Structure 1
Amino acid sequence: MSDLISRLSLNQKTTNSWSLPEAVEGCVRHGIGSIGVWREPLADTGLEKSARLIRDAGLRVSSLCRGGFLTGIEESLRRAAIEENLRALDEAHTLDAACLVMVVGGLPPGSKDLPGARARVAEAIATLAPAAADAGVRLALEPMNPIYAADRGVCSTLGEALDLAEQFTAEQVGVVVDSFHVWWDPQLEAQVARAGKRIASFQVCDWITPLPADTLLARGMMGSGHIDFRHHLDLMTKAGYDGDIEVEIFNAEVWATDPDSVLETMKFRFVSELAPVAA
């Protein structure tokens, strides 16, 4: 159990009301050794100051969220997206983040060309992969549940993410296994095994029903929904992943709760839902 809790990482979105310094202090206060950083609060605090705060607190950075949004059609938009992702790679390097999470983007306004959007993602990743290698930061493609294909992520399955990632070295491009996004996939077991050393990040939160009106906020605390996290952890372990496990929750009720109380619940549920049952 102690080995498992040592892998727990707080993704900043779980305590959305906290600034980055507050989230760092919260991790220290609750004995959490790793943090998943988001770029917006990072910018609010400042990159160099944030890097010092995290380093001085003795925390690991399990990921930087987020890069991506690579599906624009106009050349000016595509160029701007590349430049923004290069900045994100520089930030991830400064933070010594394990990876830069890539939310690849949805359909451009007015477009219904899903294959075209996916092709532009592949072209952009090919452009960014050498820069990722130079920065020593792995691009981590995050397949998203198909309900987000139109507006956030045209990469919908782990298999699809791996098809793209495998065009590059594992050090350049890996994948995110987010339980919320992949739990439904009938190919999950085979694709996690296939992913192996390409697994750059493991994120957990629960799939709750009924879905809220804003499906972006449909992520629940572990144990409040339908996902078998022990099974997911077993798959990840067999695939060779032994890194940090981020709890990333988008949920209005969780966000309205006192963040210290959220972390107490998070730690308890993390162990109770992921730890193997004693024989």
Structure 2
Amino acid sequence: MPAIQPPTPKPATFDDAAIERLEMLLIQQALPAGGLPLEAVHGLFSAAIVGPGETVMPGELLPYVWGQDHEWESVEAAQDALDLLMGLWNDIARRVVNDPETERDVAVPLVALPTDIDESDPDSWNDDHDFPVGAAWAVGFMIAFGLREDEWEARIAQNEQISEDINDIFALLPEPEEDDEHTHADSLDAAATVQLAPDDEPEDPDSVDEALFDAADAEPLTFRERMEIVGELPYILHDLNLQRLHEATPRTPARREETPGRNELCPCGSGKKFKRCHGAPTLH
């Protein structure tokens, strides 16, 4: 009888090969159906993982990822795609807990960069460069933001630093075209369109539109400014995750020990009224 081989364990991390597979799958399956490119999916999942309120689960995000009308050819293909997405989700969730100040394995966003710059050399960040670094990532982030908008707004109102961080992410959003009617579609580039799934729109779509396009009223970011914000995203995600953990930690309000009334007998057995015994200020 042949020996039974144990199943091959799945890799603990979402490696480069898995990233490439997911990226190609999204190009082939999601973009033609109105779904998202990999960069936007990373922003979408990041916001869902570190966001406030009830967690936005991956299943709620699938219509945004693949497009509302997308259909799989087989159960096996759908499961393979789901496994890849969950690999990305778990990788982000694992990395956001690490402090960028002390750890190297942090939640670096998957953003496209132009080929003619050196990411590690700020001197190569030409301010005349018009490549919209981080735009697709910010669109994905803001889709998830819109799904828990009230909770995000409450968090922002209570924390000035979070407000500044979210404003920076908004600033990365792509500028709308001149003929854009500010619907729930936004051009990321010549080949891809991001569209919110019609059946899953938040209750107040106008407020989401306002959030998505407020950045258009501000002065456009320079390429250097975009690169600097993208470089801050691991810190922002880590801080937002800390805030999420703080909000999720149950806190029992401090309760005073029950004490007898001032005119009741002191429980020590002295026969005196409490105010004349252990309740007297001079005894405390």
Bigger radius of gyration among the two: 2
Normalised by the size of structure 1, how large is the TM-score?
Answer: 0.26
- Greater strand percent: which structure? 1
